[in-house]
Amino acid sequence: MSKQYIPWVNAENAHISDIYSLAVTDKQLLSVSGGSAIKVHSLTDTGFPLVQCIDDAHSNGCHHIVTDAAGSRAVSAGFDGSLKTWSCHDGHWVADEKVTADLKHASAWAIALSCDGQYLAGVTEQGRIKVWDLAADGNLIRDHDTKGSFGVTIDLSSDGRMIATGHQNGRIYVFSTETGRMPYSLQGLVEPVRAVAFSPGSKLLAAAGDSKVISLYNCSSGNRIAYLAGHTGWITSLSWSSTGEYLLSGSFDGKIKVWSMETKTCVATIPEIEKVVWSAKWLPKIGRAEGFVLGGANCSIDFYREASA
Amino acid sequence: MTEPSIIPLEMDDGRDPAVREYIDNTLAALLDGLTSHPPEPLSITLKRRVRQTPHIINPISRALEAIPRSETHKTYCWPGKTAHEAWKFAAILQILAILDQAIRMGQLISKRDIYYIDPEFFRAQNIVDRIVDDLAYTIGVNRTALNVEAAAKGLVMGDFRLIRGPDILIDMQGAIEDTLIPRVENGDEIDIARARWVLVIEKEAVFHRLARISFHTRALAGEGILVTGKGYPDFMTRRFLRAISDSVSSQSRTLPRFYALTDGDPHGMAIMSTYKYGSAAHLHQNAQLSIPRLQWLGLRVSDVIAVPEVLGDKALLTLTIRDRRKIVTMLQNSPVWASDGPEPEWRAELQRMLVLNLKAEIEILYECHGGLEGWINRKMFRQE
């Protein structure tokens, strides 16, 4: 059964350059780009207005931003290799100088933050997987070496027990945060993996990239349980809906797809964005409408919602 | 490849009195010191550019230039405190004497020539290079004013005439082979006849491929001129291109378009920036050499990804850690790539390379529909 999603709100030219990363909390949307600012849009006000702009957050641009579940802490990663931490007070974000200083010598390309905001996981350009404890002066508590292939993407499961990384050489690694061991390296892909995402219940892992196919793995067995084929461009981004019923995927050719986990089929395609979408994220349920948000090379933030029946 | 028919050359001799004056004064001061009683200590002071100097884009010249005061002075004494200082003093004096003779005789000399006069004494080519550069900088002139030029490196193909006063020094109309880029002097005019575009190419192999099929006469955009500086361009190539740009402006003819075709990697981007804004190593020359009108034809990584069915995803290469470091350094240090800089598209391209961890070489286009020339034809039309 197909679903229909329609344009909702469009924050045109929200950034001066490609929007590389979006982070969604219950109340806000944080976005970063090749420009130097972090922008904050309200998700609780009509029209999703811009409520804060942190200028000069990363003077060389920023490629990742992540938040904890409560929306009280954010970490951003700049193109110059710097990691910065931010904390939210009554909806207003300020630099967390202490934690940023603790992470001064930390380095990572892709990052993920645990739900409670205590642990920051990162994967480096050399493929090392690291975890820092932000409650303990940013101590490095895990440091795993992989095969040395560029670490493109990382995710932390919502129960905090697993880290998954996707690499340039097509490999996918899953680590247990408790034992510090790698239970398995998934039977990966040949081409670069650009997105990995754990389902909300931490039972499934979705992974995709230049192969244009989404692979679904069972996290406890490591077996691949399904392929989702249909994209014609490289897949750059994956996001699970809060219930785990739907998976959202964004692509280099600008096409967006929504996949039903029940039927393992594509139930909606958004064709009209012609430039690369770097980040696609489900929104928290606002009223009754289910929606998602996109950021990419058109420099705009595009909100979509499900058409009411 | 044919040698340009420009021998013998008119010399710069005497045109820049600063050079004569500096050499005469320096040598005279040293002689005075030697012959005075009691002998005075001998010294030579060179101004030199500070490495890693902060630089800006001059809003008027649109070239990369040094922020004022980013230079140091270094004095070398004879006999000096160390053997090294004594040798350095002697090396500077020796080079000054060689330059003095070259200028008096009206000879052109290259840094390589100077080094080979006494390689054992000079120890390394880069020592000679540095002293010559520092002398030029101290006097405040270009290297060519010292009659020193690098061996010609760049190549050009297409109709043009090099005019000096009443004389036509070079006439390449109807030429069927490429030629070394000629030496251009102040006041020279370059007539590019019917050329409607100038394509500046990073790679020599790509240049030859286009020259072989006479792309300069067969392009859909009309006649044009092909130029390559073989990687990072030398002074003569940049000066030649700038002279074309200046000449057509003064002739008030239809301005040809200047396009850059480089690899889609950090070096390709840096080479394009060197043509357009100048090099960070020779900031004092950039205002006379930059080509602000240069447009970016390609290659963008996204150009290649956009047509994967034709080119194949395999055509792209993974960035090395060194490539990534180079990109980050470019983003951090050069005003060309700054967030409020003049080239937001260039900056975005470097960032996308980092995100995709990919680069693309021009040779990829050989395989695309219509080949390299088909791709250039389409791109030129899209940019008009």
- pLDDT at position B76 over 60: yes
Which residue among B76, B115, B116, B232 is the active-site one? B116
**Mean pLDDT value of segment A199-228:** 93
**Mean pLDDT value of segment A67-83:** 96
Contact state of B331 with A210 under an 8 Å Cβ cutoff: no
Burial class of residue B322 in the structure, from the number of CB atoms within 10 Å of its CB (0-12 exposed, 13-18 middle, 19+ buried): exposed
Mean pLDDT of chain A: 94
Best of A38, A79, A211 to mutate (most B CBs within 10 Å, chain B): A79
Name the nearest CA neighbour of B270 among B226, B181, B205, B334.
B334
ipTM of the predicted structure? 0.95
The Cα B215–Cα B226 span in angstroms is: 8
Q: What is the per-residue pLDDT across B15-66, written as a single tens digit (0 to 9) for each?
A: 578 888 888 888 888 888 878 877 777 888 888 876 666 778 888 888 888 7
The percentage of chain A sitting over the pLDDT mark of 70, rounded to a whole number, equals 98
The Cα A79–Cα A17 span in angstroms is: 13
The pLDDT score that the predictor gives to residue B264 is 95
Q: What is the dihedral of CA B124, B126, B127, B131, to 10 degrees?
A: 150
Sheet containing A83-89: order of strands: A62-67, A73-78, A83-89, A92-95
The pLDDT score that the predictor gives to residue B73 is 85
**CA distance, residue A184 to nearest chain B CA (Å):** 26
**Residue numbers of A between 248 and 267 with CB closer than 8 Å to B:** 252
**Mean pLDDT value of segment B355-374:** 89
- pLDDT at position B360 over 60: yes
- pLDDT at position B10 over 70: no
A chain contacts of residue B331, beta-carbon cutoff 8 Å: 60-61, 79-80
The pLDDT score that the predictor gives to residue B12 is 40
The pLDDT score that the predictor gives to residue B151 is 65
Spacing of C-alpha B152 from chain mean position: 11
The Cα A5–Cα A292 span in angstroms is: 9
Q: Does A212 touch chain B (CB under 8 A)?
A: no
The pLDDT score that the predictor gives to residue B5 is 33
Q: What is the per-residue pLDDT across B316-353, written as a single tens digit (0 to 9) for each?
A: 889 999 999 999 999 999 999 998 899 999 999 999 99
**CA distance, residue A60 to nearest chain B CA (Å):** 6
Name the nearest CA neighbour of A294 among A248, A244, A240.
A248
Residue B11: pLDDT band (50, 70, 90) is: very low
Enumerate the H helices of A151-203 as residue ranges.
Answer: none
**CA distance, residue A273 to nearest chain B CA (Å):** 14
Mean pLDDT of chain B: 85
Instruction: Tell me, yes or no, if B116 is annotated catalytic.
Output: yes
The least confident of A235-239, B5-9, B41-45, B197-201 is B5-9
Q: What is the per-residue pLDDT across B252-270, written as a single tens digit (0 to 9) for each?
A: 677 899 999 999 999 999 9
Specify the 3-state DSSP secondary structure of B131: helix
CB atoms within 10 A of CB B22: 19
Structure tokens belonging to residue A248? 């959202």
The percentage of chain A sitting over the pLDDT mark of 90, rounded to a whole number, equals 87
Q: What is the per-residue pLDDT across A246-273, written as a single tens digit (0 to 9) for each?
A: 999 999 999 999 999 999 999 999 998 8
Q: CA-CA distances (angstroms) from residue A229 to A103, A187, A236, B91, B377?
A: 40, 17, 14, 70, 36
pTM tops 0.90: no
CB atoms within 10 A of CB B81: 8
Q: What is the per-residue pLDDT across A103-138, written as a single tens digit (0 to 9) for each?
A: 999 999 999 999 999 999 999 999 999 999 999 999
Contact state of A278 with B302 under an 8 Å Cβ cutoff: no
The pLDDT score that the predictor gives to residue A40 is 98
Q: What is the per-residue pLDDT across A46-61, written as a single tens digit (0 to 9) for each?
A: 999 999 999 999 999 9
The pLDDT score that the predictor gives to residue B6 is 32
Structure tokens belonging to residue A235? 């897949």
The letter for the amino acid at B226 is L
The Cα A307–Cα A291 span in angstroms is: 9
